[in-house]
A and B are shown apart, each in its own frame.
Chain A
Amino acid sequence: MSSEFRNTVRANLAKPEVRANFYRAMDGLMTRRLDQFPDKVELERLRTQSMAIRANALSKLPELLETLEANLTRNGIQVHWAETAEQGNQIVQAILERHNAKSIIKGKSMVSEEMGMNHFLEALGIECLESDLGEFIIQLDGETPSHIIMPAIHKNRVQIAKLFHEKFPDIPYTEDVDELTQMARRILRDKFYAAPVGLSGVNFMVAETGTLCLVENEGNGRMSTTAPSVHIAVTGIEKVVESLSDVPPLLSILTRSATGQPITTYFNMISSPRKPGEKDGPEAVHLVLLDNGRSNIYSDPELLATLRCIRCGACINHCPVYVRIGGHSYGTVYPGPIGSILEPQKAGLDVHGELAQASTLCGACSEVCPVRIPIPSILNRLRYDGVRKDTANTNTVGSGKRRTLSEAATWKTWAWAATHPTIYHAGSTLATRFKGMLPTNLGAWTTVRSAPKLAESTLHQQAKHLGVDHE
């Protein structure tokens, strides 16, 4: 079987340098996370609390969004709503036109990646410059992020050194990380100085106080949201929490799960634009709330848990599939386990449903998830939705689109045989007796594994032999 996803995976598996980069990074991230949670009881308590905070917010989502909007508006922040990525881009475009801005400087924002904002604005002649060091690196190379927290994790320092030398030939070649970082600092400082508009994502929105919270280490997020005269924040509608007291536990588990830091260098809480008398800060702050399929996910009690995600990336860091195939193989904005449940729901099972198959269901992702999202259960549910016949009973986009006649017929036959004891016994006895004649070539499975062998006798025969009473 061949598909775009499988072809990309095959191509990326054949790149030893990229695979080595991922292995090295993921090993370090797993160890650092573990070091941050020496007390297992406390970790589980914090996970339960964080899950409850996110679940509480989702259970009151429409009301909290209305409270948030009222408080942000009272604070002077302008709130915009977008049902689709395109609407979101148009809102950003209109704000830029109102301020006659021809360029923006961006802090890190996965939602802007989701919107394809850079391409949209660049087609209008507006320069979009990424200012997060990792994002800056991949933008130079014309790539997309391969991880939601560490966008350039697939590159090593030599690759980055060569890239910088190619793009900035006037600056001497160096492989020293400090020197490379200082190069980026000098280049981007001029951009922060001049940029008319800054754009950022949001980690948490506090309904109670009308506050936008941003988590970062570099200061580029603060620069983008403070130095330009206009700040635009874009985020998904699910990122709201009810009260300010919900924020400390989430911040704590987010940074520890993501990069193994007890806290990041900067935690930025923005509640209003520049007030009269204040000497800096943006004159205008806008928030774009993006739906883009989220309200549809919200409508299903089982799939709703997807929206608890706080984008820490721990599931990605612990995924044995991700570490081997790398983030770009997924072909989506969000890779790894969270991408494998989120992207098929957003784009449809007919578009990205195959990602739900790209899992061993080992459960590592749900073991580390700080908000206890049952990722394997959701993967199973999406696999079922993809092939189910009763598509009227689910809202999942593209339900039933992955159903094939041959697979359906195989399972129907199996179900029929398994529910007819005479047929089942006859079949299993025959298969056991003639096991030597069973095929050893089972397609893709046997290209890297031996075909499974049947036992000498059936389970029923063995049970009978042991005298097990079926009652």
Chain B
Amino acid sequence: MSNTARANILARLKETASCSSPDKGRLGGVSYDWDTAERVRRFTERMVAVRAEVHHATPKTWLDVVQQVCVDKGLNNLLVSPETVLGKQIHAQADRFPTLKTYDQPIESWKQEMFYGIDAAFTGTHGGIAETGTLIVMPSVDEPRLMSLVPPVHLALLKVDKLYTTFAEAVQAQGWVQAGMPSNALLISGPSKSADIEQTLAYGVHGPKELVVILV
């Protein structure tokens, strides 16, 4: 059935002569002349506007910030990779943090704990977008997809030198097409939310109820 359908659909489409030639005007766009300070300001403003927390830190202080966030939120455990550069640093000082959990097996082996027993997850990011207040997250073998989705709190570290002005600039500068797209790439702009009931914003619908960004 599918092959016949494919042939029929494509044949019908190909029967029609190309009705327009509008490559013109398709490419290009706005470019902003924002310096680092302006990008950080805009990013922070946008993130806070959608009820995300943004903490500014340095390479020396970011572990203290993570520790403080864990204390403030009363977290019992934290899911963090022991394989990434950042994760290794947290694991190296495990006694400062709540119980550290690792995503070291396929989800099927520990789905129940992931869905009902993990308080928070810490991940790195692939970059950020200042214009919209957005994190670029590309899940990997070490930091799988569900880490930024299932636990009620998501802590993410963003390096300021990876903070781009626009989405288009990030795609271009990081060479997404040339590098090949990962299984899943995400733009995340705040904690999960909905306005489906009477246009009233409610946070924490299905994904994380809280998003904490640590800018370094």
Question: Which A positions have Cβ atoms within 8 angstroms of B?
Answer: 21, 24-25, 28-29, 42, 45-46, 48-49, 51-53, 55-56, 58-62, 65-66, 75, 80-83, 87, 90-91, 131-134, 137, 150-153, 155-157, 160, 177-178, 180-182, 184-185, 188-189, 192-193, 208-211, 217-220, 222-223, 226-227, 229, 237, 243-249, 251-252, 259, 262-275, 277-281, 289, 291, 295-296, 298-299, 301, 304
Contact = CB atoms under 8 A, between A and B. Distances in A.
Contact of A272 (B106, B183, B200): B183
A436 B116 CA distance: 80
A299 B187 CA distance: 36
B50 A265 contact: yes
A164 to B, nearest CB: 10
B183 A270 contact: yes
24 contacts: A28-B199, A49-B25, A56-B23, A59-B21, A61-B13, A153-B199, A155-B198, A177-B202, A209-B177, A218-B193, A220-B205, A226-B146, A227-B150, A245-B171, A246-B26, A266-B188, A266-B192, A266-B207, A269-B186, A280-B107, A280-B146, A281-B183, A295-B12, A299-B12
A266 B186 contact: yes
Range, interface on chain B: 35 or more
A252 B9 contact: no
B187 A267 contact: yes
Contact of A304 (B19, B23, B27, B196): B19
A165 B1 CA distance: 45
A392 B153 CA distance: 62
Q: Residue among A25, A52, A75, A247 with the most chain B CB within 10 A?
A: A52
B36 interface: no
Q: Which 9 interchain pairs have the tightest Cβ spacing? A: A219-B207, A134-B196, A267-B187, A181-B202, A81-B6, A219-B206, A263-B132, A295-B12, A271-B181
Contacts of B206: 131, 185, 188-189, 192, 218-220, 222-223
Contact of B22 (A56, A90, A160, A219): A56
Interface string B185-216: 11111111111111110111111100000000
Contacts of B198: 21, 24-25, 155-157, 160, 177
A263 B134 contact: yes
B105 interface: yes
Contacts of A60: 18
A236 to B, nearest CB: 11
A263 B141 CA distance: 28
Given A80-B2, A193-B111, A209 B181 contact: yes
A445 to B, nearest CB: 35
A59 B20 contact: yes
User: Which secondary structure characterizes the binding site on chain A?
Assistant: helix
B9 A83 contact: yes
Nearest to B138: A269
B8 interface: yes
Nearest to B141: A277
Q: Residue among B21, B186, B203 with the most chain A CB within 10 A?
A: B186
User: Which secondary structure characterizes the binding site on chain B?
Assistant: loop
A105 to B, nearest CB: 11
B196 A249 contact: no
A167 to B, nearest CB: 15
Contacts of B186: 222, 266-269
B149 A81 contact: no
B205 A248 contact: no
A182 B193 CA distance: 11
B182 interface: yes
B18 to A, nearest CB: 5
B24 interface: yes
B172 interface: yes
B202 A178 contact: yes
B115 interface: yes
